[in-house]
Amino acid sequence: MLIVIGAIVVAITVYLMVKQYETRLVLFGAGMFLALCAGEPMAPFKAFSHAMQENKLFEAIIAVMGFAMVMKLTQCDQHLIQSLVKPLRKAGPLLIPGATLVTFFINTSITSSAGCSAAVGSILIPIMLAAGVHPAIAAAAIYAGTYGAIFNPGYAQVALVAEVAKASNMEVVSNHFMTMLATGMIGAFSLLVVALLLKENKGYVVPSDKQLPADFSVHPVKALVPLIPLVLLLLGSFGLVPALKQLAISHAMIIGVFVAFAVTRTNPQKISKEFWHGAGDSFGHVFGIIICALVFVSGLKSVGMIQAMTDAMVHTPAIAKISATFGPFILGVLSGSGDAAAVAFNRAVTPEAAKFGLSAIDMGSAAAIAGALGRSMSPIAGGMVICAGFAGCSPLESAKRNAPGMFIACCVTMWMMLYK
């Protein structure tokens, strides 16, 4: 009975979000209702407290949003945008898949989907908007590339598959390399097709209050400032500058703020105020949605929906191949976490892969990739919320545009990994 109630509440929640009711209210209310139905009224409050203590995610988000506000104050973001808009317009519709693939590459080093969304989205989304790309497509293009981390041998999901399959991390990455490459291309170019069909690849006009004077002159040094944190992070992540290896996203953003002051000589009091203004906004708007999403997920857990889906996959070996892909995929969509979905499957089912006539390394990678694909079209995923915030659109609108490509990519993952 609780499962039925859960399914009805999920349907109503999706409907209310489509109708653009206040996202935080809908998610928090749905989570509370489900928990009360399950007789666990404290579950949402525990999820709320747990989310408030997610200091690593919180640290990255507030620092990036604070940095973005400083870039806006100093107009360094506009110098970068204006310097790139003309050449990028020549790329035509390829700007959209190009942004996805660039994010895909960067995510191999900045492996947090939320952190990568914040670091890359703060630069590329405004550039895409200025080039005429619709906000929902611009946000979707960035988040569609945030599962490139599975290329990284040190990524937690790769390590888990290696442990279960009794293989090395490099063997796991080599095994799913071509599948990842294919799904990345599918996600990028499927979004382009969606943009062309909806005529959202060009024509968007930035609101007049955000436009610059016609005689705005680009300063090349100021144009480089927004790139400073990303360059520092990449130099450290790829080991090109060992001293930067331990540099956190938040630290890179703070360094960027100091560089902005040195280059523009803006009043430091104004810079401080804008940085903390951005930090506060990020908590209220971005992190607020993430908190409420976790409350909603706790409600789903309370009524047993997440566990029921996991059990169905475990106890249905006849459809093991479908379960290994679409099980984590659906869980990723519902929970906003590809890692949680894949870990649950790979811990419970993948060790028994031989019983289904499959190899553990293939089944494990399929589950990890599918979970990430599902998360990449989830309207409650933290990274999606961040990208939508930069674009000024609804997370659900961006998620809908990513859905066709992620679904097709999941089918291709199943075929390439489990039917080869």
- What is the structure's pLDDT at 211? 58
- What is the structure's pLDDT at 56? 57
Maximum separation of any 2 CA atoms in the chain, in Å: 69
- What is the structure's pLDDT at 415? 92
Residue type, 94: L
Residue that is written with structure tokens 């999706």 in the block: 14
Report the C-alpha gap between 339 and 313 in whole angstroms.
Answer: 17
Q: Are 260 and 266 in contact (CB under 8 A)?
A: yes
Report the C-alpha gap between 326 and 319 in whole angstroms.
Answer: 10
Does residue 206 come out as left (phi exceeding 0), alpha (psi in the -120 to 50 range) or beta?
beta
Closest CA to 236 of 227, 248, 224: 248
Q: Are 107 and 150 in contact (CB under 8 A)?
A: no
Residue 109 is given by DSSP the state: T
Report the C-alpha gap between 306 and 33 in whole angstroms.
Answer: 16
List all residues 6 or more positions away from 360 whose beta carbon is below 8 Å from its beta carbon: 161, 164, 165, 166, 350, 351, 353, 354
Cα–Cα–Cα angle for 111, 115, 117, nearest 5°? 100
Residue type, 54: E
- What is the structure's pLDDT at 402? 94
Report the C-alpha gap between 84 and 105 in whole angstroms.
Answer: 20
Q: Are 306 and 331 in contact (CB under 8 A)?
A: yes
DSSP H helices, 238-381, are 249-264, 268-281, 288-302, 305-314, 320-335, 338-348, 360-375
Write the DSSP string, 65-98. HHHHHHHHHHTHHHHHHHHHHHHHHTTGGGHHHH
Which sign, positive or negative, has the C-alpha torsion 134, 384, 366, 112? Answer: positive
Report the C-alpha gap between 51 and 85 in whole angstroms.
Answer: 38
Residue that is written with structure tokens 């990890």 in the block: 368
Instruction: Give the side-chain half-sphere CA count within 13 A for 16.
Output: 16
- What is the structure's pLDDT at 258? 93
Report the C-alpha gap between 102 and 109 in whole angstroms.
Answer: 12
114-135 pLDDT, tens digit per residue, is: 778 887 888 888 888 888 899 9
Residue 53: count other Cβ atoms within 10 Å of its Cβ: 9
pLDDT lower than 70: segments of the chain? 18, 20, 54-57, 60, 84-86, 88-89, 109, 154, 208-216, 285-286, 306, 309-318, 340-341, 344, 348, 420
Distances (CA, A) of 46 to 27, 53, 55, 284, 298: 15, 11, 16, 19, 9
- What is the structure's pLDDT at 57? 58
Q: Considering only CA atoms, give the Rg of the chain.
A: 21
Write the DSSP string, 32-59. HHHHHHTT-TTHHHHHHHHHHT-HHHHH
